[in-house]
Structure 1
Amino acid sequence: MSPKTAEAARKGLPNTLYGVSLRHDGEVIGMGRIIGDGGCFYTVVDIAVAPPWQGQGLGKRIMNALDAWLRTHAEPSAYVTLVADGEARHLYSKYGFVETAPASVNMEYIVMPPAG
C-alpha cells in the first residue's frame, strides 16, 4: 500500500462501504476495504497484511469476507474492480477477477502538492 496522509485517511475511511480488519493482541495485522457508489461500481482496495503475518492465508481470509459481502449486497450487474500488485493476481483470480489488458488497462495518477 502506498502511504497516505492522515487527512486523506480521515476523509476517506468513513466512505468505506465494507471493511475488514484482522487483529492480533489489539494490533491490526491485516485489512481490506470495498469502496464505490453502492449500485453500479465497487472497487476492492487496501488489501494489506503486515509482513510478519504474510504467507499464512490471511489475505485469503480478507478476500473471503469481501467477496461474501459483494455477493450478498451488490447488484448482479455491478462492475467490481481492483488493482493487483505482483503475484497477488493469483489470489484475486480465485474470486473471479480476470486481467482485462489489452482491452482495458489500469490508469492512475497521484495528486501532488504544487512545487515550491
Structure 2
Amino acid sequence: MNIFISDKLPTFEQFASLHEASGLIKSKKGNYTREQLYQAANNSWYHISIYDQDQLIAFGRMISDGIYQALICDVMVDPTYQKQGLGKQIVEELIMKCKNSGIQSIQLFSAKGKQHFYKKLGFDEREQDAPGMTLIL
C-alpha cells in the first residue's frame, strides 16, 4: 500500500465511489443526490482524505464556526480497508485541527452501532436529560 493523507477535497468521482462503497449514503436521512452530498463536503470547514495511491479509501469532514464548536460528519472507510486504523486516523486528524484552532467542543453524528468506536476515541454519549434533537423536513 502507498498511503497518503490530504486535506484537499477529493474529486467528485472519488467521493461518490467511497460514499457508495462505505454504505454511508444508505444511512442518510432525506433524499440527497450524490452531487448534493459532494457540495456539502465542499462547504465543510475542514475535511481530511486518505488515499491508497489515487484511490480514496477514507474520508471525514467537519462543520464549524471556527471558534468554539465543531461537528464531525461523514467519517467513512472503504470496507476493504476497514479494521486497519484508518477511521481512527481520520477522527484524530479532525480532533487535531480543532485543538490547533482552539476549539474545545466537538460533537458528532454516529452511524448506528458505531458508538463504541467513538467511545474508544474519547467521545461520550450525551446525557439522557440533555439529548440531542433532530428535525427532518
Q: Which TM-score band (shorter chain)?
A: 0.7 to 0.9
What is aligned with 1:89? 115
- The normalised TM-score by structure 2 is 0.67
Which contiguous aligned blocks of 4+ residues in structure 1 show a shift greater than 6 angstroms? Answer: none
How far apart are 1:101 and its partner, in Å?
3.6
The structure with the largest helix share of the pair is 2
How far apart are 1:9 and its partner, in Å?
2.7
How far apart are 1:47 and its partner, in Å?
0.4
3-state SS of 2:70 partner: strand
Q: Bigger shift: 51-60 or 89-98?
A: 89-98
How far apart are 1:55 and its partner, in Å?
0.7
Match of 2:84 among 48, 56, 63: 56
How far apart are 1:98 and its partner, in Å?
0.7
How far apart are 1:13 and its partner, in Å?
2.2
Q: List alignment gaps of at least 5 residues for structure 2.
A: 1-23, 27-31
Match of 2:75 among 47, 55, 66: 47
One-letter code of the match for 1:15? N
Are 2:101 and 1:73 equivalent residues in the alignment?
yes
What is aligned with 1:114? none
What is aligned with 1:21? 49
C-alpha distance in structure 2 between counterparts of 1:10 and 1:53, whole Å = 22
Corresponding pairs, count: 109
Identity of aligned residues (%): 28
Q: Report the RMSD for the aligned CA atoms in angstroms.
A: 2.1
Q: Is the 8 A contact 1:83 1:106 kept in 2?
A: no
One-letter code of the match for 1:73? S
- The normalised TM-score by structure 1 is 0.78
C-alpha distance in structure 1 between counterparts of 2:74 and 2:38, whole Å = 15
What is aligned with 1:34? 62
How far apart are 1:86 and its partner, in Å?
3.8
